[in-house]
Structure 1
Amino acid sequence: MPELDTGRLDRDGVQDRSAGRLARAIGILRERGPLEPFRLVRRHGLAASAGFVTRNVRHLVADRLARNWDRDHGVDTAGSIQLAGLNVVGTNRDQGNECLCTSPRTFDFIMRSLAADLGDRTFIDIGAGKSRTLLLASRYPFAKIVGVEFAHELVEIAKRNITAFHDPGQKCRDIEVVEADAAAYKFPPTPLVVYFYNPFSKRVFDIVISNLVASLRENGRACHVVYGSSSHAAIDWAKPAILASNAFEQLPTPPMPGFLDAVRRIDYAVFRYRPDGGEDRPAA
C-alpha cells in the first residue's frame, strides 16, 4: 500500500515528505469520500491496511516531536528531505537516500555503546543532512564534530542551525560542515567516531569504508563506526561490508527500543577498529 509521501517544499525550498502529511490524508478523504478507508481495506486486506495506518500515525507523532525539538532549540532539522532538485557535489546523486534525522532518544541510546572517554575523539556524521545528528553529538564532550554532506542546500541549512542552536547541555561547540561527496572525503588523523544513518547505497559505502580503513592503517588511532538504518536490507549488507574490511570487530549491543520520537525503529551496529584485524573476532 503506498505511503502518503508526495511531500511539499519546506521553508528552505527542499522537498519534505513529512510536511503536510495529515492535511494530504484529509484532502484524500474529501476528494474520494468518507468510504475510501473501507475501499482500501477491501482492496488491500485488513492487515495491510492496519499496517499502513500504524506507519503513518507513527510518522505523524515522530514528526511532531521532531518539530517540537526544533522549536525548543531554535533550529530546523526535521522532515524527510528528498534529494530531487538539490545541487549536489560529485556524481553519486542517484546513490543517495532521503535525509531523515536521527531521533534524540535513539542517538542517546546508541551513545551508551561507545567508550566513556570521548574527549580526544572527532565525531563524523557521513551524510549529515540538516545537522540534527551533529547537534545531538554536541551534547557530548567530543573534541570536534564534523558533518559531511553533498547537497549544497542542506549544507547551508546545517550551517544556520549550528549557529542558531541553543542547548544549556551543549559540551562541544567546535562543529563544522564539509560540503563534499563522501566517497572523496579524507578523514582527519585524529581518533574517530564515524556515524552512518543509511546515507547511500552499498557501492558508495564500500568506497567510504575502504578510504576509512586506509586512513586508519596509514595513521593508526582509535576509531568506532556506528551504522544505523530503518531498512533491514541496508543493515544486512552494511554489517558484513564493515567486517569484510578485516579491520573492525563488532561490539555487543542491546536491541533498539521503539522510541516514539523515531519515525521507524532503527537497527544499528557498533564496530571498533583493531589494527591487528577484526576477522577472527566474534560478531555480536
Structure 2
Amino acid sequence: MAMTGRQDRQGVYDRSSGRLGRALAVLRERGPMEPFRLVRQHGLRESARFVGRNVRHMIADRLARRWDRAHGVDTAGSIQLAMLDVVGPNRDKGNECVCTSPKSFGFIMKNLPRDLSDATFIDIGSGKSRTLLLASHYPFKAIVGVEFARELVAIARRNIAAYRSPSQMCRTLFVVEGDAAAYAFPDTPLVVYFYNPFSKDVFDTVLDNLVASLRETPRRCFVVYGSSSHQAIDWARPAIRASGMFEELAVPRMPGFFDAVRRIDYAVFRFDPASRSA
C-alpha cells in the first residue's frame, strides 16, 4: 500500500507531518499550473474546502506539537496502523490514531459531574496517551488506556512516566495492551471514552461487554462517544440507545477549536442504577 508522510521521532508512521512539503513536491513534479488544473477539475468551492481543511490540519498539528514540547511528551500526529505491531485480530477494523485536542476534551468534560473521585476513566483506543494525560487534570480514582498497537503502548507509557503538571489531580495512570473487544471493565464507577477508535462491529462487541459488566455489577457509568470523521456518531449513538441501558444527556454543540483538526460530534450517555431503582 502506498503511504505518504514520514516516521515520527519514535519511529511510527505519521501522516500529519510534512503536508506543505508534499504540496511543494507536487508543484515541482507537475509544474506551477497544477493548482489551476485541479481547480478546473474539482471546482472552486471544493478546491477552497480542500485548502481550508489542510490549513486547519497544519494549524492543529502545530499546536499539538507545541503542547507536546511544553510537557515533554510525544502525543501528536495521525498514526497509521498498517505498519504497527497489533494485538488481536482486529487490525483492519481500527482507525488511525489521532489525539483529542485539549480544548475539545475540556469542553466535553463540562458535561460530566464535578465529583468523579470514585470513577475510573477509560479511554478505549488510547493511542499515544494524550487523552489520558488530559484526564489526569480531573479527580478520577484511576485512569486507564486500552490500546492494541504495541508501539503506541510503549510511547504512551513513556509519556505517562515523563508527564508532570502542577494541576494534575490523578497520578494513577496506566495502559493495558490488548484488543478492546476482549477488555474486562473494572467494577468501579466508570467514565468510558471513545474517540472513533474502530469499526461498528468492534464497537458493538465492546458495548455488549460493558452492558454485561454493568448488569452483573450495577454502578454509575458515563459513556462519551466522539467522532470527527466516518460519520461514526450516526451509528454509535443509536447503538448505545438500543442497548436499553443508558440515558442520553442533552449537550451543547462542540465549537470549532483551532487545536482540533475537525470539529468533534459527540454524545454523552449515563447509567445510574440508583435512579433506575427509585
Bin of the TM-score, shorter chain as denominator length: over 0.9
Tell me, in whole angstroms, the C-alpha distance in 1 between the residues paired with 2:77 and 2:229.
17
**1:3-152 correspondence runs (5 A):** 6-152=4-150
TM normalised by structure 2 equals 0.96
CA contact (8 A) 1:247 1:276 kept: no
* Count of matched residue pairs: 274
Deviations 1:127-176 (Å, cap 9, x if unpaired)? 00000000000011111000000000000000000011122211110001
In structure 2, what is the equivalent of residue 154 of structure 1? 152
- Of stretches 246-255 and 166-175 in structure 1, the one that deviates more from structure 2 is 166-175
SS in 1 for 2:169: coil
Q: Which amino acid aligns with 2:161?
A: T
Residue 232 of structure 1 deviates from its aligned partner by 5.7
Tell me the residue number matched to 1:281. none
Q: What secondary structure is seen at the aligned counterpart in 2 of 1:102?
A: coil
Unaligned ranges ≥5, structure 2: none
Q: How far apart are the structure 2 equivalents of 1:261 and 1:271?
A: 25
Q: Displacement, 1:11?
A: 1.6
2:80 and 2:68 mapped to 1: Cα distance? 19
**Aligned partner letter, 2:75:** T
Q: Which of 241, 254, 257 does residue 243 from structure 1 map onto?
A: 241
| Secondary structure at 1:272 match in 2 | strand
- Structure 1 stretches of at least 4 aligned residues deviating more than 2 Å after TM superposition: 274-278
Aligned residue among 168, 186, 189 for 2:187: 189
Runs of at least 5 residues in structure 1 that lack an aligned partner in the other structure = 279-284
CA distance in 2, matches of 1:86, 1:35: 38
1:158 is aligned with what amino acid? A
Residue of structure 1 equivalent to 2:259: 261
* TM-score (normalised: structure 1): 0.94
Give 3-state SS (helix, strand or coil) of 1:199's partner: coil
- Look up the SS of the partner of 1:233 in the other structure: coil
Q: Distance in 2 between matches of 1:21 and 1:139?
A: 32
